[in-house]
Amino acid sequence: PQTVYLKDYTPPEYLIDSVELNFDLDEQNTLVESRLCMRRNPQSTDPGMSLILAGEDLELVNISLDGKPLAEADFAITPEAMTLHRVPQDRPFVVNIENRINPKANTALEGLYLSGSMLCTQCEAQGFRKITWFLDRPDVMTRFKTTLTADKSQYPVLLSNGNKIGQGELEHNRHWVGWEDPFAKPCYLFALVAGQLACVADNFTTMSGRQIALEIFVEQHNVDKCTHAMQSLKNAMRWDEETYGLEYDLDLYMIVAVDHFNMGAMENKGLNVFNTKFVLARPDTATDSDYEHIEGVIGHEYFHNWSGNRITCRDWFQLSLKEGFTVFRDQQFTGDRTSAAVKRIEDVNALRTRQFAEDAGPLAHPIRPEAYIEINNFYTLTVYEKGAEVVRMLHTLLGAAGFRKGCDLYFARHDGQAVTCEDFINAMEAANGVELNQFRRWYSQAGTPVLTVSQQFDTQAQQLRLTMQQSCPPTPNQPEKAPLHIPVKLGLLAPDGSPAPIVLDGRQHEEITLNLTQSEQTFVFDKLARQPVVSLLRGFSAPVNLNMPRSLEELAFLLQHDSDTFNRWEAGQQLAVKVIFDLIEDLHQQRPLHLNALVVKAFNGLLAEEGDDLSYQALLLALPDESYLAGQMPVIDVDAIHHAREFVKTTLAHDLLDDFERVYRIHHRDESGKFSADAIGRRRLKNACLSYLNQLESGASYALAKAQFEQARNMTDQIAALSAIVNSHHPDKAECLDRFYQQWQREALVIDKWFALQASSHMPDTFATVQRLMQHPAFDMHTPNRVRALIGAFSQANPLHFHAKNGEGYRFLADQVLALNTLNPQIASRMVTGLAQWRRYDGKRQELMKQQLHRIVATEALSKDVYEIASKSLA
C-alpha cells in the first residue's frame, strides 16, 4: 500500500465549479448521473493535459465530455481512478458521467449504503469516490444540486444538503425531490438519505431574527426519543451565537439517525447523519451520561458548520484544524451546560488513559500527522482530544477575549476557504499581536512531554524556588524533541489551606500562568513567611505527564483544601495511585496487604462533605481506572493492578460501610425523568456508593442491588444496579440479565449496554460469556455499535480478561479482526488497537500479542486500514 505525505501536497489541477447529481435510487442497483462543470485551476503548476478523477467500486455506464461521448481510447479506468487523457485547458468544460453502484453490497458503510431499510451516505474522509468519479479532496469546493428519484412507498422521504427546490410524482409509484446547497463545499460534506422516516419538527430564531426549520428524522418507533436531541440542537445554536457570535446560515437544519454507522455522527452541510446512539434518549432507555453525550455530539456537529464546513481543511493532514477546534468548542459548551469541573475531569481522564497511551506507543503521531496509508486511521484520540488540548492552551495563553479575537479573525479571513492549521495560528497571532513560533511545535511533535518539578524553600529569604524541566520521550521517526511552550497554571496554599499570595518579579497574583519555554527554568516566588503547598498545572493547563514528588500527607492536604476543582480531584487520584502502587509492590513481595489509614480518613472526609456539586463529589470517590494505572507502570501487571485496586475498594467499603450506606440512603429517591444537576448528581453519588457496597458480596449488598434493579424507573439506576450484579457473585445474576434482555430486546441501544456490561465484567467466567454472546441471535458483525459493545468492550475495557496469560483473548481478537476485515475495514482496524500496546507487557504476553499481529499482517487481501495499524504496531 502507498503512503501519502504532507510534504507532497500540491494544489488541485482542476476545479469543479458546480455539480448536478441525479440519483435513481435502488437497494442493489442505484444509477448515478453526474454533471461536472470544471476548469483548469489557475494555481496549478502541472503542465499535463489529463484529468484524474478518484473512483472506487463503480460501474461505468456512460461518459461524455462537453456533450460528446468519449471513445475507449480517450480515457482509462483503474480500481482507484479514471483518467481522461485530454481535457480543455483554456476554457471551462463539462464532464457527464453515468455509473451504477450497489448499496446493499456495501458493508464497509462508506459511500452510499443500506442501514436497515434506509439508504444513507457517509463520505468523510474519502467515501464520495464510492458514489461517483470526482475530485475527492477537501480543497475542491463545489456547489451541489441533487435530484433524488425513488419508489414512493419504499422511500417516501428523500433528503440531501441545502434547501428543497422541487418535487414531483412520476409514473409507476415513483417520485423525485430536488435539493440545492447554495454554499460551495468539499464532497466529503455531501449527504443523501432515503427511507421511511418520521420527522420531528421544531424551529429556531437566530440572533438576527431568521427562522430556521429544525427537523430530526428517525424510524417511526423512535419518535418518542427525540425531545432531548431537539433541545440540545437549540441549545447549541444559541450557545454558538452567544459564545462565538456565529449564526446558522441555511433555512433548514436536518438530523437523521441511523442504526449502522462507523462513527458517532457526521456534520454534512445542513443534513447531519447521526449514529442513533447520539440522538435517541428517553429516561427509561438512556443514562444521564448518554443524555450529556447526546448534547455534546449534537453540539459538536452543529459547531462544525463554521469550524469545518464554512471553513474547511486544505488536506487531510489538517484534520485537527477542524476536529481539535470543534472538540474544544463542544467541551466548552458541555462545561457551560453542565458542571465545568466534572466535564474537565472526565475529558482529562479520557485523555490521560487513552490518548497518552496512543502517544507513547507505536502509533504515536503529531496532531498534524505527516504521513498516512489510510486516512480513516487518523481519526484518532491524538487528532481529536490532544488537538483540543492544543486549542485550549491557546485559549489559556491568550485569555478568553484574546482567543475570541483570534477566532473572529480566522472566520472572517477564511470564510469559504480550505485552509491549514498554520492559518489558524496566524490568525491568533495577528489578532493578538503575539508571536507563537515555539507554540507551533505542538502541531508537529508527537509524544507526551514530561514535566519534572522540584522545589526549594528558603526560610531566611522567604523565597520558594520552583524548578521545572521538560522533556519528551522519542516517538516513531522523532528521536529528538525540542522544548515546547507549556502554559503552567499555578496557585499556592498557605499551611492552613487558604490561598497564599503569589509574588513573582515584584508583582502579586492570586493565580498565575507561567510560560515554560526552555528545557529547564526556575521561578522564584517572594514574600512567603512559611512554606506554601504548590498547586501545579491547575485545570490541567497542558497535556503533559507531571512528575512532582509529593507525600501522602501533602496530597491529602490538597484533596482537602485546593480551591482548583481539577487539582483537588487530581490530588485524590494521585493519593490513590501512590497507595495502589505500594500495594502492588507488597503483592510482588508476597507481603500481606494493609490499607494506609490516611486513605480511609480522606474518604471518610469526602463522604461527610455536603457540597453542592454532587456529580463532582461522586468523581472524588472514584478510584483511578485500571487502564490509567497501567499507563503509569513500566511493565504492566494487569493482575496485580486489578487485585491491588480491588483491595483498596473492598477495604474502604468495609471500613466505611455505615458512611456509604448513609450517603446512599440520603440520595436514593425516584427522580426518573428529572435531569437537573442535582437529580443527576444524586444518582451519580448514590451509584458510586452502590459500587463500593457491592464489593462486600454480602446478603445486604445483594439485596440492595437487586432492589434498585427492580425498582429503577430510569436507565441510570437500572444499569448501575445490573452492573453491580454482574460484577459480583450475586445469586440472581442470570435471572436479572435475562429479565433485562426480555424487557429491552426491542431497543437496540439498550441491548448494546447489555452486551458491553457482560463483556467488561471482571468476574472469572467472562471470556466464556463473550464467546457465548458471539453466538447470540442479537449479535451481528454488520452492526458497528454491536461490534463495539461486545468485541470492543472486551478488548479495550476489560484489561484483566483480555490479557489472560494463556493468550485466548488475543487469539479471539485476531479472529474477529480478520472476520471484520472483509466486511468493514474501518471497524476492523479500530479493533486492532487492542494489540498495539504489546511492548508494555511482560515477555510472555509480548510474544502472544506479536504472534497475533504477525498472523494478521500475513493474511491475504488485508485492507489498507488493518494493514497500516497492524504493521506499524509491529515496527
Each residue of 710-725: b (16+ CB within 10 Å) or e?
A: eebebbbbbbbbbbbb
If the CB atoms of residues 327 and 398 are measured against ligand DPP, the closer one turns out to be: 327
- Going by the DSSP 8-state scheme, the letter that residue 437 receives in this structure is T
Segment interacting with ligand DPP, rule: CB under 6 A, options 262-270, 485-493, 501-509, 585-593: 262-270
Among 20, 26, 240, 267, binds ligand DPP (CB under 6 A): 267
Taking the complex as a whole, the smallest distance from the CB of residue 412 to ligand DPP amounts, in Å, to 23
Segment interacting with ligand DPP, rule: CB under 6 A, options 74-82, 260-268, 446-454, 655-663: 260-268
Question: Of 20, 292, 295, 301, which residue is the catalytic one?
Answer: 301
Taking the complex as a whole, the smallest distance from the CB of residue 331 to Zn ion amounts, in Å, to 12
Taking the complex as a whole, the smallest distance from the CB of residue 425 to Zn ion amounts, in Å, to 20
Alpha-carbon distance values, 648 to 541, 550, 595 (Å):
30, 20, 7
d(CA 470, CA 265): 37
Amino acid making up residue 15 = L
- All cell numbers assigned to 289: 451520561
If the CB atoms of residues 328 and 744 are measured against ligand DPP, the closer one turns out to be: 328
Segment interacting with ligand DPP, rule: CB under 6 A, options 9-17, 133-141, 261-269, 800-808: 261-269
Taking the complex as a whole, the smallest distance from the CB of residue 462 to ligand DPP amounts, in Å, to 51
Q: Which of 664, 654, 663 is nearest to 608 (CA)?
A: 663
d(CA 496, CA 479): 46
If the CB atoms of residues 270 and 572 are measured against ligand DPP, the closer one turns out to be: 270
Amino acid making up residue 655 = D
d(CA 214, CA 338): 24
423 binds, among ligand DPP, Zn ion, none (CB under 5 to 8 A by kind): none
Please give the distance of CA 449 from its chain centroid, rounded to a whole number.
Answer: 22
Instruction: Decide: is 257 part of the binding site for ligand DPP (CB under 6 A).
Output: no
Each residue of 826-849: b (16+ CB within 10 Å) or e?
A: bbbbbbbbbbbbbebbeeebeebb
Among 266, 407, 493, 533, binds ligand DPP (CB under 6 A): 266
Taking the complex as a whole, the smallest distance from the CB of residue 29 to Zn ion amounts, in Å, to 33
266 binds, among ligand DPP, Zn ion, none (CB under 5 to 8 A by kind): ligand DPP
If the CB atoms of residues 323 and 564 are measured against Zn ion, the closer one turns out to be: 323
If the CB atoms of residues 297 and 536 are measured against ligand DPP, the closer one turns out to be: 297
265 binds, among Zn ion, ligand DPP, none (CB under 5 to 8 A by kind): ligand DPP
Taking the complex as a whole, the smallest distance from the CB of residue 785 to ligand DPP amounts, in Å, to 15
Q: Which of 423, 265, 331, 237 is nearest to 415 (CA)?
A: 423
By CB under 6 A, what part of segment 65-124 binds ligand DPP?
124
d(CA 730, CA 719): 15
263 binds, among Zn ion, ligand DPP, none (CB under 5 to 8 A by kind): ligand DPP
Q: Which residue in this structure is represented by grid cell 448521473?
A: 33
Taking the complex as a whole, the smallest distance from the CB of residue 296 to ligand DPP amounts, in Å, to 11
If the CB atoms of residues 84 and 418 are measured against ligand DPP, the closer one turns out to be: 418
- All cell numbers assigned to 288: 444521564
If the CB atoms of residues 321 and 544 are measured against Zn ion, the closer one turns out to be: 321
Q: Which of 465, 444, 448 is nearest to 456 (CA)?
A: 465
Taking the complex as a whole, the smallest distance from the CB of residue 387 to ligand DPP amounts, in Å, to 11
If the CB atoms of residues 124 and 181 are measured against ligand DPP, the closer one turns out to be: 124
Contact map string, positions 310 to 349, toward ligand DPP, x by CB under 6 A? -------------x--------------------------
**What is the phi/psi pair of residue 180, to 5°?**
-140, 130
139 binds, among ligand DPP, Zn ion, none (CB under 5 to 8 A by kind): none
Taking the complex as a whole, the smallest distance from the CB of residue 377 to Zn ion amounts, in Å, to 16
If the CB atoms of residues 259 and 323 are measured against Zn ion, the closer one turns out to be: 323
By CB under 5 A, what part of segment 325-384 binds Zn ion?
326
| CB-based contacts of 740-747 (< 8 A; 24+ apart in sequence) | 744/285, 745/778, 746/221, 747/285
φ/ψ bin of 58: left (φ > 0), alpha (ψ from -120 to 50), beta (otherwise):
beta
- Going by the DSSP 8-state scheme, the letter that residue 478 receives in this structure is B
Contact 452, 537 (CB under 8 A): no
Among 20, 110, 215, 301, binds ligand DPP (CB under 6 A): 301
Q: Which residue in this structure is represented by grid cell 442470570?
A: 734
Q: Which residue in this structure is represented by grid cell 512559611?
A: 530
d(CA 159, CA 178): 9
- All cell numbers assigned to 335: 462545561
Helix (H) or strand (E) holding 146: strand 142-151
Segment interacting with ligand DPP, rule: CB under 6 A, options 25-33, 64-72, 264-272, 776-784: 264-272
By CB under 5 A, what part of segment 266-325 binds Zn ion?
323
φ/ψ bin of 164: left (φ > 0), alpha (ψ from -120 to 50), beta (otherwise):
beta
If the CB atoms of residues 25 and 266 are measured against ligand DPP, the closer one turns out to be: 266
The size of the interface with ligand DPP (CB under 6 A), counted in residues, is 8
If the CB atoms of residues 323 and 865 are measured against ligand DPP, the closer one turns out to be: 323
Taking the complex as a whole, the smallest distance from the CB of residue 481 to ligand DPP amounts, in Å, to 28
With CB atoms as reference, the residue minimizing the distance to ligand DPP is 266
Assess whether 301 carries a catalytic annotation: yes
Among 60, 223, 263, 524, binds ligand DPP (CB under 6 A): 263
Helix orientation angle between 715-726 and 699-711, rounded to the nearest 10 degrees = 150
d(CA 823, CA 780): 12
The size of the interface with Zn ion (CB under 5 A), counted in residues, is 2
Give the start-end residues of each E strand in 475-549: 486-493, 499-500, 502-504, 507-509, 512-516, 520-526, 533-536, 545-547
Taking the complex as a whole, the smallest distance from the CB of residue 320 to Zn ion amounts, in Å, to 10
Taking the complex as a whole, the smallest distance from the CB of residue 627 to ligand DPP amounts, in Å, to 23
Helix segments in 473-613, DSSP class H: 552-561, 565-588, 597-608
If the CB atoms of residues 355 and 687 are measured against Zn ion, the closer one turns out to be: 355
Each residue of 368-395: b (16+ CB within 10 Å) or e?
A: bbbebbbbbbbbbbbbbbbbbbbbbbbb
User: Which parts of this chain interact with Zn ion (CB under 5 A)?
Assistant: 323, 326
User: Which parts of this chain interact with ligand DPP (CB under 6 A)?
Assistant: 124, 263, 265-267, 300-301, 323
Show which residues are catalytic: 301
